Chain A
Amino acid sequence: MAEANARPENQPPKPRTQPPGRESTAPRLEVHDVTKSFGAVAAVQGVSFPLYPGEAHALVGENGAGKSTIVKMLAGVHRPDTGTLRVDGADVDFAGPADAKAAGIAVIYQEPTLFPDLSVAENIAMGNQPLTRLRQIDRREMTANAERLFRRLGVPIDPSRPARGLSIADQQLVEIAKALSAEARVLIMDEPTAALSAVEVQRLFAVVRSLRDEGAAIMFISHRFEEITALCERVTIMRDGRHVATDLVSGLSVDDMIRRMVGRDLSALFPKQDVEPGEVVLEVEGLSREGVFRDISFSVRAGEIVALAGLVGAGRSEVMQAVFGVDPYDEGSVKVHGRRLRKNAPRAAMAAGMALVPEDRRQQGLVMELSIERNVTLPRARKLARLGLLFGGREREAAETWTRKLQTKLGRLSDAVGTLSGGNQQKVVLAKWLATGPRLLIVDEPTRGIDVGTKAEVHRLMSSLAADGLAVVMVSSELPEVLGMADRVVVLREGRVAAQLTRAEATEESVMYAAMGQEVTA
Chain B
Amino acid sequence: MSETLRRSDAPGGIDLDRRPDRAGAIKSRLTSWDSIILVLTALVLLIASVTVDNFGTSRNFTFMVLDLLPIILIALPMTMIIVTGEIDLSVASTLGLTSSMMGWLWNQGLSIETIIPICVLIGAVCGVVNGFLITGLGLPSLAVTIGTLALYRGLAFVVLGDGAVADFPWNYTGWVTGTIGGGAVPNVLILIVALALVFGVVQHATPFGRSLYAIGANAQAAHFSGIRVARTKFWLYVGSGAVAGLVGVLWTLRYSSARADNGSGLELAVVAAVLLGGVSIFGGKGSLPGVLAGVVLLTALQNALRLEDVSGQALNIVTGSLLVLSVLLPNITTAVRGNWQRRKLRRAAAAR
Would you call B31 an interface residue if the criterion is a C-beta within 8 Å of the partner chain's C-beta atoms? no
The digit string for B205-245, where 1 denotes a CB below 8 A from any CB of A, is 11100110110011011111111100000000000000000
Contact for A371 among B5, B221, B227, CB less than 8 A: B5
By the criterion CB–CB under 8 Å, are A378 and B345 in contact? no
How far does the Cβ of B29 sit from chain A's closest Cβ, in whole Å? 11
Would you call B113 an interface residue if the criterion is a C-beta within 8 Å of the partner chain's C-beta atoms? no
By the criterion CB–CB under 8 Å, are B205 and A391 in contact? yes
By the criterion CB–CB under 8 Å, are A373 and B8 in contact? yes
How far does the Cβ of B135 sit from chain A's closest Cβ, in whole Å? 14
Name the residue on B nearest A413 (C-beta): B16
Given contacts A81-B349, A400-B14, contact A366 B6 (CB under 8 A): no
Would you call A127 an interface residue if the criterion is a C-beta within 8 Å of the partner chain's C-beta atoms? no
Contact for A388 among B206, B225, B341, CB less than 8 A: B206
**Complex contacts, A374 vs chain B, CB 8 Å:** 5, 210, 213-214
Would you call A369 an interface residue if the criterion is a C-beta within 8 Å of the partner chain's C-beta atoms? yes
Would you call A148 an interface residue if the criterion is a C-beta within 8 Å of the partner chain's C-beta atoms? no
By the criterion CB–CB under 8 Å, are A82 and B350 in contact? yes
**Complex contacts, B9 vs chain A, CB 8 Å:** 392, 414
A385 and B208 alpha carbons, distance in the complex (Å) = 10
Q: Classify the interface of chain B: helix, strand, loop or mixed.
A: helix
The digit string for A349-370, where 1 denotes a CB below 8 A from any CB of B, is 1100000101000011111111
Would you call B59 an interface residue if the criterion is a C-beta within 8 Å of the partner chain's C-beta atoms? no
How far does the Cβ of A369 sit from chain B's closest Cβ, in whole Å? 4
Name the residue on A nearest B215 (C-beta): A367
Given contacts A347-B228, A363-B218, A390-B207, contact A370 B12 (CB under 8 A): no
By the criterion CB–CB under 8 Å, are B223 and A326 in contact? yes
Given contacts A346-B226, A364-B220, A367-B222, contact A385 B5 (CB under 8 A): no
By the criterion CB–CB under 8 Å, are A370 and B16 in contact? no
Would you call B346 an interface residue if the criterion is a C-beta within 8 Å of the partner chain's C-beta atoms? yes
The digit string for A29-43, where 1 denotes a CB below 8 A from any CB of B, is 000000101011000
By the criterion CB–CB under 8 Å, are A378 and B210 in contact? yes
Contact for B285 among A326, A369, A388, A412, CB less than 8 A: A369
A390 and B10 alpha carbons, distance in the complex (Å) = 13
**Complex contacts, B24 vs chain A, CB 8 Å:** 40
B1-35, CB < 8 A from A = 1-2, 5-10, 12-14, 16-17, 19, 21, 24
A373 and B224 alpha carbons, distance in the complex (Å) = 17
B171-230, CB < 8 A from A = 201, 205-207, 210-211, 213-214, 217-218, 220-228
**Complex contacts, B350 vs chain A, CB 8 Å:** 82
By the criterion CB–CB under 8 Å, are B207 and A82 in contact? no
Contact for A358 among B224, B345, B349, CB less than 8 A: B224
How far does the Cβ of B209 sit from chain A's closest Cβ, in whole Å? 8
Would you call B127 an interface residue if the criterion is a C-beta within 8 Å of the partner chain's C-beta atoms? no
Contact for A379 among B2, B206, B225, CB less than 8 A: B225
A20 and B19 alpha carbons, distance in the complex (Å) = 49
Name the residue on A nearest B280 (C-beta): A369
**Complex contacts, B19 vs chain A, CB 8 Å:** 40, 412
Given contacts A379-B226, A385-B207, A396-B13, contact A367 B221 (CB under 8 A): yes
How far does the Cβ of B207 sit from chain A's closest Cβ, in whole Å? 4
Would you call A434 an interface residue if the criterion is a C-beta within 8 Å of the partner chain's C-beta atoms? no
A398-434, CB < 8 A from B = 400, 412-414, 416, 432
How far does the Cβ of B244 sit from chain A's closest Cβ, in whole Å? 25
The digit string for A119-155, where 1 denotes a CB below 8 A from any CB of B, is 0000000000000000000000000000000000000
By the criterion CB–CB under 8 Å, are A381 and B217 in contact? no
Name the residue on B nearest A350 (C-beta): B226
Contact for A393 among B13, B211, B213, B346, CB less than 8 A: B13
Contact for B12 among A82, A364, A382, A393, CB less than 8 A: A393
**Complex contacts, A385 vs chain B, CB 8 Å:** 206-207
**Complex contacts, A432 vs chain B, CB 8 Å:** 225
**Complex contacts, A369 vs chain B, CB 8 Å:** 1, 217-218, 284-285
How far does the Cβ of A151 sit from chain B's closest Cβ, in whole Å? 41
How far does the Cβ of A242 sit from chain B's closest Cβ, in whole Å? 15
Number of A-B contacts (CB under 8 A): 121
A397 and B285 alpha carbons, distance in the complex (Å) = 24
A413 and B226 alpha carbons, distance in the complex (Å) = 22
Name the residue on A nearest B227 (C-beta): A378
Name the residue on B nearest A389 (C-beta): B205
How far does the Cβ of B325 sit from chain A's closest Cβ, in whole Å? 23
By the criterion CB–CB under 8 Å, are A378 and B225 in contact? yes
Name the residue on A nearest B17 (C-beta): A412
How far does the Cβ of B107 sit from chain A's closest Cβ, in whole Å? 42
By the criterion CB–CB under 8 Å, are A396 and B346 in contact? no
Would you call B342 an interface residue if the criterion is a C-beta within 8 Å of the partner chain's C-beta atoms? yes
How far does the Cβ of A338 sit from chain B's closest Cβ, in whole Å? 22
By the criterion CB–CB under 8 Å, are A393 and B214 in contact? no
Given contacts A374-B5, A393-B13, A397-B14, contact A368 B349 (CB under 8 A): no
A350 and B223 alpha carbons, distance in the complex (Å) = 12
By the criterion CB–CB under 8 Å, are B224 and A370 in contact? no
By the criterion CB–CB under 8 Å, are A393 and B205 in contact? no
How far does the Cβ of B317 sit from chain A's closest Cβ, in whole Å? 34
By the criterion CB–CB under 8 Å, are A35 and B349 in contact? yes
How far does the Cβ of A393 sit from chain B's closest Cβ, in whole Å? 4
By the criterion CB–CB under 8 Å, are A414 and B5 in contact? yes
Would you call A55 an interface residue if the criterion is a C-beta within 8 Å of the partner chain's C-beta atoms? no
Contact for A370 among B214, B226, B342, CB less than 8 A: B214
Given contacts A370-B5, A373-B8, contact A390 B220 (CB under 8 A): no
Contact for B217 among A347, A367, A388, A395, CB less than 8 A: A367
By the criterion CB–CB under 8 Å, are B6 and A414 in contact? yes
By the criterion CB–CB under 8 Å, are B349 and A370 in contact? no
By the criterion CB–CB under 8 Å, are A396 and B16 in contact? yes
**Complex contacts, A379 vs chain B, CB 8 Å:** 225-226
Given contacts A82-B349, A390-B206, A390-B210, contact A365 B217 (CB under 8 A): no
**Complex contacts, A350 vs chain B, CB 8 Å:** 226
**Complex contacts, B227 vs chain A, CB 8 Å:** 378
Query: Which of A347, A371, A378, A393 counts the most B-chain CB atoms under 10 A from its CB?
Result: A378
Give chain B's interface residues, CB within 8 Å of chain A. Answer: 1-2, 5-10, 12-14, 16-17, 19, 21, 24, 201, 205-207, 210-211, 213-214, 217-218, 220-228, 284-285, 341-342, 345-346, 349-350
A/B interface sample: 20 pairs, CB < 8 A: A40-B21, A81-B345, A82-B350, A326-B223, A366-B221, A367-B218, A367-B222, A369-B1, A378-B210, A379-B225, A385-B206, A388-B207, A391-B12, A392-B12, A396-B8, A400-B16, A413-B16, A414-B9, A416-B2, A416-B5
Give chain A's interface residues, CB within 8 Å of chain B. Answer: 35, 37, 39-40, 79, 81-82, 326, 346-347, 349-350, 356, 358, 363-371, 373-374, 377-379, 381-382, 384-385, 388-393, 395-397, 400, 412-414, 416, 432
4 pairs of A and B residues whose beta carbons are closest in the complex: A392-B8, A381-B207, A82-B349, A392-B13
